[in-house]
Amino acid sequence: MPLKTPIHDHPAAGLAEPNHLPRYASSAKLNLELILDQDRRGSVDPTKKNAGKSGDGITAPPPQGKPRLMLMGQRRSGKSSISSVVFHKLPPNETLFLESTARIQKDSMASFMDFQVWDFPGQIDVFENPDFDMDAIFGEIGALIWVIDAQDEYLESLARLTTTILTLQRTYPSINIEVFIHKVDSLSDEYKLDVQRDITIRIQDDLSDHGFENAPITFHLTSIYNHSIFEAFSKVIQKLIPRLGTLESMLTNLCRTCRFEKAYLFDVLSKIYIATDGNAADMASYEICSDYIDVIIDMTEVYGTWQRSDEGRAKLEGEPWSARLEDQVGCGTAESCLVLHDSNKPIMLREVDRYLALVAIMKEDSYDRMPLVNMNVEAVVEGLTEFFNITKPRK
């Protein structure tokens, strides 16, 4: 098969370019477009890995607008703290001063994938209050994040969660249910796992008493005082990305060709990782990469190409440089590589677009082969850009 195939007769033709001009695309691109087109029409694809509820083989209905993440749970369980720390960069200890939420707080996140975060007040039960329009709340596909305070008595919270799941799964079976067993920062490792086991068994037992077996619920141990909350959100968001498998295989191939230990694709603002390679994930590498983003952001804020005043620009472009600013910087995007002294492993970062960055931990000897590494990274960045162009929801 030729590498570049004209697509006049292809079912996906005209998807990206409505002006019917001849278009040339690689076979991989065509394949992705075709699959996505099928997804959008709501067809069944039993091979699809990340769709809908795990294991049921049914493709989730395509998102019509912005996917919505709903934070629910008892009062003081930590919902507003989570949303403020992850999406608004609030330092964790300042959450002590947050007031109790009185009405639903709706946040719109402009990111690689636009999504919304809704923070519910703990004291209001939307199912008992006839004023709430269920379709308006749960109609859009997304995830329901149920936050449980692991340091507090949680039986009442579990009872509410079970009722919520039973009510929702009848009408909106495609919503992902994610349980954050939260505030585990002061608990010992052993106790944390005991709590998780206890909560899992209680919920599954309760649901099966009501005839709902093997409920597709995911449990996460979280705390705003460490990276666990970002890690958990990463997993939640990843389930909402169409064709995540394609992203993962791009990163796995990159790791193999460049001999990287681990590669992450980060949403720079929230520091949620939206994809990683197939190697086993470990918290330590995620933490290093996520801290590295902070360092680079701080640097680019000082030296980067942000919006400058005319006066500042004139000064920088004047004597002794006498050149346009664009011609003075090596490349428009942030790109960096650093070798950590204690581990001898270089870390590299490459901006993909204004929201995403590729961060990878290399092996000791990869530094000697930087030109090859750069070339491969460049190719993956191009692939990622193309991926997001194809998969972004059409209005």
Among 185, 261, 287, 317, binds ligand GTP (CB under 6 A): 185
Which residue, among 370, 344, 352, 339, has the nearest Cα to 251 in the 3D structure? 352
By the rule CB under 6 A, 77 interacts with ligand GTP = yes
Closest to ligand GTP by CB, 29 vs 79, is 79
Size of the site for ligand GTP (CB under 6 A): 20
DSSP-based three-state secondary structure for 284: helix
C-beta of 1: minimal distance to ligand GTP in Å? 53
Under the binding rule (CB under 6 A), the answer on residue 95 touching ligand GTP is yes
What the block records as the tokens of 55 is 């294991």
Long-range contacts of 102-107 (CB under 8 A, 24+ apart): 105/80, 107/83
Say whether residue 66 binds ligand GTP (CB under 6 A): no
Element (H, E) at 274: strand 272-276
Q: Using the rule CB under 6 A, which residue among 10, 23, 66, 76 binds ligand GTP?
A: 76
Interface pick for ligand GTP out of 1, 3, 21, 96 (rule CB under 6 A): 96
Give the burial class of 163: count Cβ atoms within 10 A of its Cβ; 0-12 exposed, 13-18 middle, 19 or more buried. Answer: middle
* Stretch touching ligand GTP by CB under 6 A, among 15-23, 25-33, 218-226, 256-264: 218-226
Interface with Mg ion, residue 164, by CB under 5 A: no
Q: Which stretch binds Mg ion (CB under 5 A): 54-62, 96-104, 319-327, 372-380?
A: 96-104
Q: Can you give the three-state secondary structure of 307-349, one letter per residue?
A: CCCHHHHHHHHCCCCCCCHHHHCCCCCCEEEEECCCCCCEEEE
How far from 377 is each of 61, 268, 281, 292, CA to CA, in Å? 33, 18, 20, 18
Interface of this chain with ligand GTP, residues 118 to 137, rule: CB under 6 A: 121-122
- Out of 224, 237, 352, 361, the residue judged to bind ligand GTP by CB under 6 A: 224
Tokens 């190719």 correspond to what residue? 379
* C-beta separation of 301 from 308 below 8 A: no
* By the rule CB under 5 A, 77 interacts with Mg ion: no
User: Contact between 210 and ligand GTP (CB under 6 A)?
Assistant: no
Select from 178-186, 232-240, 265-273, 289-297 the region that touches ligand GTP (CB under 6 A). 178-186
SS3 content of the chain, % helix, strand, coil (to 5): 40, 20, 40
**Residues 74, 77, 101, 164: which binds Mg ion (CB under 5 A)?**
101
Q: Does 226 interact with ligand GTP (rule: CB under 6 A)?
A: no
98 scored as a contact of ligand GTP (CB under 6 A):
yes
Residues found near ligand GTP in the complex (CB under 6 A)? 75-81, 95-96, 98, 100-101, 121-122, 182-183, 185, 223-225
